[in-house]
Structure 1
Amino acid sequence: MLIYDELTAAERALWDAFPEGRWVDLRTGVPEEDDPATGAEWGAGRTVRAEVVAALLLGGGPARPGGVAALRLAGARITGALDLAGAEIGSPVWLRGCRLEQPVSLHAATTRTVHITAGRVPGVDAGLARVEGHLDLTGSVLETGSLTLVNAQVTGELRLNGARITAPGRWGVFAGGLAMGGGVYCREGFFTRGGVRLVGAQLPGGLFMRGARLESPQGEALVADRADASAVELSDGFRATGTVRLRGARIADLLTLDGATLDGTGTALFGVGMQVGTLDFGLATKPSGTVDLRGATVTALHDRAGSWPDEVRLDGFVYGSLHSEATPGRENVNRRLAWLRRNPGYAPQPYEQLAACYRQAGHDDDARRVLLAKQRHRRTTLNVPGRVWGRLLDATVGYGALDRRHPVVRVSPGRRRLAPHDGGRRRRHPHPEQELNATTGSMRLTAVTLDCASPPALAALYGTATGLDLDERSTGDFAAPTSTPPGRGCRPWAPYGPSRSPSRNGGGSCSTRPGARSA
């Protein structure tokens, strides 16, 4: 029980000012003397016990009709533990330039706006709290503790601009399940030694960390897995020493890393399965670790050539449009293909996605170049016969991806020529067995006929590459595979004369016969 006559002069001034919400300013006006870093030296004239503050906030202070009660205190040294866990606080709190010697507990409390600005406090625990208003720690230093907001609800804004948190543990801000009504602002020099954890957070007002520095060298600098935000700003000098994790996050509008630096070793950005409106990936420097975008979905991607690391995981990455520095068309395609090759191993989906993006933009020639590059990359994963056969197709018809018409390659001892179908009707040729058809969309070979010195050897090579068997009726003059695996769309070999083409009915075969030239 507090007795008014036993309060110090500073405490009586605060007690009398509380009913009307007046400021009690104990600062001297000399910056060096008012710095909370030197607050341990402040004497009794600037000291207020935490139990006096708690008594006022819990309704123990005097009431004054017509006044709006609020606790406003500046330049004070607050001794003891300010424990308001589970309390219902009906008055807003302003502590400006104060030094609190022990952590503040608002665990499971219900309170109005709380401002602890430009001060020093060992830590703040507001887990499960409900703040009807803003939670403001602008410019404060949490020197030996962390900010805990697990499953807390803040109807206003969370302001951490210029705050510095040096937590001894893994997390500087521990706020999984945080539900915000407004934005989270960590700008203007915000620094934390220890990660920022926002797993499953609801951030309809956005997360803004422009120029922030997060240091967690042995772990995650920012974890916002499954967070739901309107926008996330990690730009203009943002620096993360540790992994930035956004797995399964949903960002309705903009995720920007323009001018950011990602120093995480191993994985710099882990964005598996995230859904983003616009991704601006214009980093200040190349990341030191991997960027993992597997299964991510982006409506529009903006990037720079120097923003991507040596390894980028793109399998399953879907984007609606691409925007980058202005470069000539062919050079831009080459850069995009080099980007795809940073994906470890061979995966067809990144090529198909890039081709679809070009096709949607009306750049059909660029789309075909991408699909040709896909086949060339796939060829590197085949066995020796498969690679040989792939090179043969590449050299003759470019896997059928280079011409939007259906080309027919005719090979004869005296000449070689490439001609399209004529109005959908195939012309008669002296040697109809010497034809090679390739369709652009599916790149399906319907017939291959080659002149060579040893037909059985070449047919066997083709069979090894495709899994087909050599027909038992093959001879030294003419050889062909006999059948095809399910789904290949080719028909068995059958003898035919000059008037029967092996691909007349849309079936497919590969046949060889001796000749002076080979294709």
Structure 2
Amino acid sequence: MEPVDLTPVERRVWRAFPTGTPVDLRDGADDDPENGAAWGPGRTVRAEVLRKLLLRPLVDGDVAALRLTGARIVGVLSAYYATVEHPVRLSACHFEEAPMLFGARLRRLNLSESYLPGLDAGGVRMDTALRLTDCRIPGELRLIGARLSDALFLERARLGREDGPGGEVLQLSHSTIERDLVGDALVVHGEVLLDGASVSGRVKLDGAVIANPGGPSLYADNLTVGSDVIATRARFDGEVNLRGATIPGLLVFTQARLSSLRATSAAIGEVWLREGRVDGEANLLRGAFGLLHVPPGALRGTVWLDGLTYGTLAPRLPAKVRIAMLERDAEGYVPHAYEQLAAAYRQAGDDRAARNVQLAKQRRLRRTRPWYARLWGLLQDVTVGYGFRPVWAAAWLGGLLAAGAAAFGSHPPEPLKAGEHPPFNALFYTLDLMLPIIDFGQEKAFKPSGGYQWLSYGLVIGGWVLATTIAAGVSRTINRQ
């Protein structure tokens, strides 16, 4: 039975409801829902009338549904903790006040293309998808603790005000979405909250723009995703926080731009920053990634890498390019970062690059030591490259041997005892001086004088130094292996 106080347009909606017949009130004059406040009585429907329809009980054989387009809805559409058994589509409508759906259970809700000052749907239960495609919501969209049995669609929606205070505009904290969260080309002027949320499918934010200067743009602390997070060509003005997030598939920031990134203790299958960049800090402490695709220049600010693990590092670049990034770590010398990078090169079969990383690690460590330790480290570096450059030791030994043999060959030293010495051999005499564990009988039989005596001292010292540094380098290599 119809209420007697209905307006003509409300009566039309009331009569269409039992059969689910669509009612389209658009007239083509000005159908932009954002300008809906100027729509006249012929397009105005009271929220209390819609509420009465939504709360009507099901009737056997009924196919009732509310399908209304292009209406100006006045008053508050309130369904606190109500159960709505009928599908609801209020598309391209202008809501003068924010609907209140806190704790409600709905079968289906489609508000696509509508203008809403805000929406309070915290704790809402949806049996199917929630569609907010192309919506304009200058206030807060509250879906904290929502349970959606299907997907949430936010494509091309515009949330918050560009000249507004920012703050928590899209609130999805601790929500559960059984399929995908789709927000391609979504524009948010404020913060998006996804902390503690669970999305069984994908989070898709291709081309999205989320701007909250001076604060977090995306706060997804402990977010759990079933497959991927795709944010190709997205822009995040404000920190992207993925601390403790679990993303078994892909995290794609291809061609995206981020103010800063925090992914501490996150577990992610693959991270892609191809043609993307992080202008500020990139905090990856204790993260665990299967693949990390970071091209040169992708991380432009300070990095935090201690405890970060990854199986593969791409693209394949010379070690010096990657080492330069490690030098920008906010904590200074981080041994684990060098070891992880060396391990990635070894896994890729590039042992030479791995040795270069290990050498860079020792050089970086040297800068943290006292002056005397730095001096000893510099000697090991110059002579044998901390054991990673054994050819250098051979070159030093060969050079000293050639110099000593040439000098003593042109001016042989006098024998200690005339008639009781072997024939002089400049090469083996130099070897006797340089190698303390080898005795060819030359050093004991001949004694240089003058400047050649000082040369012999230099060769003895050089031999001891080279022998010691080589032993230290070999020992370090064995310990690594």
The answer, yes or no, to whether TM exceeds 0.5 is yes
Quickly say closer, same or farther: Cα 1:137–1:404, change in 2 above 3 A: farther
- SS in structure 1 at match of 2:169: strand
Quickly say closer, same or farther: Cα 1:381–1:22, change in 2 above 3 A: same
How far off its partner does 1:310 sit?
A: 3.2
Which amino acid counterpart does residue 159 of structure 1 have in structure 2? F
8 A Cα contact 1:82 1:104, kept in partner: yes
8 A Cα contact 2:167 2:190, kept in partner: yes
- Name the counterpart of 1:12: 11
Match of 1:48 among 45, 49, 72: 45
- Name the counterpart of 1:303: 294
CA distance in 1, matches of 2:135, 2:400: 86
Q: Could you tell me which runs of 5 or more consecutive residues in structure 2 were left unpaired when the two chains were aligned.
A: 405-430, 439-454, 477-481
Aligned length: 424
TM-score by length of 2: 0.81
Greater helix proportion: 2
How far off its partner does 1:198 sit?
A: 0.4
How far off its partner does 1:128 sit?
A: 1.2
- SS in structure 1 at match of 2:248: strand
- SS in structure 2 at match of 1:199: coil
- SS in structure 2 at match of 1:4: coil
How far off its partner does 1:303 sit?
A: 2.3
How far off its partner does 1:106 sit?
A: 1.1
Which amino acid counterpart does residue 385 of structure 2 have in structure 1? G
CA distance in 1, matches of 2:189, 2:141: 12
8 A Cα contact 1:408 1:435, kept in partner: no
Which amino acid counterpart does residue 158 of structure 1 have in structure 2? L
CA distance in 2, matches of 1:402, 1:163: 59
Quickly say closer, same or farther: Cα 1:451–1:302, change in 2 above 3 A: farther
Match of 2:79 among 79, 84, 90: 84
Match of 1:69 among 64, 73, 79: 64
How far off its partner does 1:407 sit?
A: 7.6
How far off its partner does 1:5 sit?
A: 2.5
Which amino acid counterpart does residue 206 of structure 1 have in structure 2? R
What is the percentage of aligned positions where both structures have the same residue? 36
Is the aligned partner of 1:333 residue 2:327?
no
Deviation per CA, 1:383-408: give whole Å up to 9, x if none.
21111111100111110023499989
Which amino acid counterpart does residue 197 of structure 2 have in structure 1? A
Quickly say closer, same or farther: Cα 1:103–1:204, change in 2 above 3 A: same
- Name the counterpart of 1:182: 179
- SS in structure 1 at match of 2:128: strand
Quickly say closer, same or farther: Cα 1:451–1:115, change in 2 above 3 A: farther
CA distance in 2, matches of 1:453, 1:65: 107
- Name the counterpart of 1:203: 199
CA distance in 2, matches of 1:214, 1:349: 34
CA distance in 2, matches of 1:304, 1:281: 7
Is the aligned partner of 1:94 residue 2:101?
no
CA distance in 2, matches of 1:313, 1:258: 21
- SS in structure 2 at match of 1:83: coil
How far off its partner does 1:66 sit?
A: 2.9
How far off its partner does 1:169 sit?
A: 4.9
Which amino acid counterpart does residue 231 of structure 1 have in structure 2? D
- Name the counterpart of 2:310: 319
Match of 1:153 among 121, 124, 147: 147
- Name the counterpart of 1:170: 167
How far off its partner does 1:146 sit?
A: 0.9
8 A Cα contact 2:264 2:283, kept in partner: yes
How far off its partner does 1:87 sit?
A: 0.4
CA distance in 2, matches of 1:173, 1:451: 80
Structure 1 moving runs of 4+ over 4 Å: 403-417, 450-455
CA distance in 1, matches of 2:127, 2:475: 73
- Which moves more between the two structures, 367-376 or 306-315? 306-315
Deviation per CA, 1:120-169: give whole Å up to 9, x if none.
001111111111111111001112x2111111100111001011111655
Quickly say closer, same or farther: Cα 1:432–1:406, change in 2 above 3 A: closer
How far off its partner does 1:81 sit?
A: 0.4
CA distance in 2, matches of 1:402, 1:432: 20
Quickly say closer, same or farther: Cα 1:435–1:196, change in 2 above 3 A: farther
How far off its partner does 1:340 sit?
A: 1.6
CA distance in 2, matches of 1:390, 1:435: 24
How far off its partner does 1:82 sit?
A: 0.6
CA distance in 2, matches of 1:305, 1:410: 39
Q: After superposition, where does 1:422-461 map in structure 2 within 5 Å?
A: 430=432, 434=436
Give the structure with higher Rg (CA): 2
- SS in structure 2 at match of 1:104: coil
Which amino acid counterpart does residue 198 of structure 2 have in structure 1? Q
How far off its partner does 1:231 sit?
A: 1.0
Which amino acid counterpart does residue 379 of structure 1 have in structure 2? R
How far off its partner does 1:288 sit?
A: 2.7
Match of 2:269 among 277, 293, 309: 277
Which amino acid counterpart does residue 228 of structure 2 have in structure 1? A
8 A Cα contact 1:410 1:435, kept in partner: no
- SS in structure 2 at match of 1:82: coil
TM-score by length of 1: 0.76
Quickly say closer, same or farther: Cα 1:190–1:380, change in 2 above 3 A: same
How far off its partner does 1:33 sit?
A: 1.4
Quickly say closer, same or farther: Cα 1:138–1:45, change in 2 above 3 A: same
- Name the counterpart of 1:425: none
CA distance in 2, matches of 1:310, 1:139: 35
